[in-house]
A and B are shown apart, each in its own frame.
Chain A
Amino acid sequence: MPNGDKNYFDPKVLAGISNLALRARWVVEGLMSGIHRSRAKGFSVEFEEHREYSPGDEIRRIDWKALGKFDRYFIKEYEDETNLRAYLLMDASASMNYASDGITKFDYGCTLTASLAYLILKQQDAAGLVTFSDHIESFIPPRAKRDYLTQILGALEKRGAAGETNVGKILEDIAGQVKRRGLIVLVSDLLDEPESILNGLRQFRFRGNDVIVFHLFDQAELELPFDGNILFEDLEAANLQVIADPRAIRTTYKQVVQEFINDMRKQCRDNTIDYQVISTATPLDQALASYLSWRG
Chain B
Amino acid sequence: MSVFFLYPVFLLGLLAASLPVLIHLLNRRKLKRIRFPAVRFILLSQKRISRSYRLRHWILLALRTLAVVFLALLLANPIFQTGAGLFAGGGPVSLVVLLDNSLSMTWSGDGNGFKQAKDAARLLISALNDDDRAAIVPTNITGKEPFRLKAQKDVLLRELDAIEIADGTVNLEAALGKAYELLNVPAGQKEIRFITDMGLTGWDQFSLAGLKQVDPSIPLKLIHVGRKQTPPNGSIKEIRLGSPGIGANLPLQIDVTVANFGESELKDVLAQLSIDGQNKEQKLISVPGKSESSLRFQTRLSQPGAHAGQVTLKKAGLAGNPTTNFTLDAQEKLKVLVVDGDPQTSVVQSETFFLSRALNPSGERDASIFLPTVILTDGLNTATLDGYQVLILCNVAALPESFTAKLQSFLRQGGGVLIFAGDKFQADSYNQKIARDLPGQLGEKKLGPEANADKIGKFAAKHPALQFLADPILEESIKSARVWGYFRTTAGGQAPLITLANGDALLLEQNVGAGRILMMTSSADRDWTDLPLKTVYLPLIQSLAQYLAGGNRGALDGGIAVGAAKEIALPPTLVGKNLRVTKPDKQTAEVAITAEKNRAVASIEENDRAGIYRVSLPVGGEKNAGAPQMYAVNPPLLESRLDEISARELQAKLSPIRAEVIPVDALKEGGKRTDLALPLLALLIVTLLIEGWLGQRF
Interface residues, chain A, with chain B CB atoms under 8 Å away: 94-96, 98, 105, 189, 191, 218, 220-221, 224, 226, 228-237, 240-245, 247-253, 255-257, 260
Contacts and interface: CB of A to CB of B under 8 A. Distances in A.
Contacts of A226: 32, 34
Contact of B41 (A96, A237, A260): A260
B32 A257 contact: no
A248 B55 CA distance: 12
Given A191-B40, A248-B53, A230 B46 contact: no
Interface string B116-155: 0000000000000000000000000000000000000000
**For the side of the interface on B, what is the size category?**
20 to 34
A256 to B, nearest CB: 5
A229 B31 contact: yes
B45 A189 contact: no
Given A221-B37, A242-B46, A252-B45, A231 B32 contact: yes
Contacts of A224: 42
A242 B32 CA distance: 11
A244 B42 contact: yes
A236 B37 CA distance: 7
Nearest to B28: A229
Contacts of B43: 240, 242
B347 interface: no
Contact of B33 (A230, A247, A253, A256): A230
B22 interface: no
Contacts of B30: 228-229
A95 B37 contact: yes
Top 10 closest pairs, chain A to chain B, by CB: A95-B37, A234-B39, A253-B45, A252-B45, A249-B45, A98-B37, A252-B49, A221-B38, A248-B698, A232-B36
B33 A231 contact: yes
Given A228-B30, A231-B31, A253 B42 contact: yes
A233 B135 CA distance: 74
Contacts of A94: 37
Contacts of B698: 245, 247-248, 250-251
A189 B697 contact: no
B53 A249 contact: yes
B37 A191 contact: yes
Interface of B is mostly: helix
A138 to B, nearest CB: 22
A226 B37 CA distance: 14
B35 interface: yes
Contacts of B36: 98, 220-221, 232-235
Which of B38, B41, B698 neighbours the largest number of chain A CB atoms within 10 Å of its CB? B38
B697 to A, nearest CB: 7
Contacts of B40: 191, 234, 240
Given A98-B36, A228-B30, A241-B39, 11 more contacts: A220-B36, A229-B31, A231-B32, A233-B33, A236-B37, A242-B42, A244-B45, A245-B698, A249-B45, A255-B45, A257-B38
Contacts of B212: none
6 contacts: A220-B36, A226-B34, A230-B31, A235-B37, A251-B697, A256-B48
A98 B37 CA distance: 7
Contacts, number: 98
B57 A243 contact: no
A109 to B, nearest CB: 13
B27 interface: yes
A240 B39 contact: yes
A19 B155 CA distance: 105
Interface of B: 27-28, 30-46, 48-49, 53, 56-57, 697-698
B346 to A, nearest CB: 127
Which of A98, A221, A237, A249 neighbours the largest number of chain B CB atoms within 10 Å of its CB? A249
Nearest to B43: A242
A237 B37 CA distance: 9
Contact of B31 (A95, A220, A243, A257): A243
Contacts of B697: 251
Nearest to B24: A229
A237 to B, nearest CB: 8
B34 A253 contact: no
Nearest to A228: B32
A230 B45 contact: no
Which of A224, A245, A248, A251 neighbours the largest number of chain B CB atoms within 10 Å of its CB? A248
B698 to A, nearest CB: 5
Contacts of A230: 31-34
B40 to A, nearest CB: 7
A229 B45 contact: no
Given A232-B36, A233-B34, A233-B35, A249 B27 contact: no
A250 B48 CA distance: 12
Contacts of B34: 226, 230-233
Contacts of B35: 98, 232-235
B46 to A, nearest CB: 6
A245 B31 CA distance: 10
Contacts of A257: 38, 41
B275 to A, nearest CB: 95
A142 B38 CA distance: 32
Contacts of B45: 244, 249, 252-253, 255-256
Contacts of B31: 229-231, 243
A244 B33 CA distance: 11
Contacts of B27: 228-229
Contact of A249 (B37, B38, B39, B49): B49
Contact of A248 (B28, B38, B44, B57): B57
Contact of B48 (A235, A245, A252): A252
A244 B40 CA distance: 12
Contacts of B33: 230-231, 233
B46 A249 contact: yes
A193 to B, nearest CB: 10
A232 B57 contact: no
A253 B40 CA distance: 10
Contacts of B56: 248
A70 B457 CA distance: 185
A224 B44 CA distance: 14
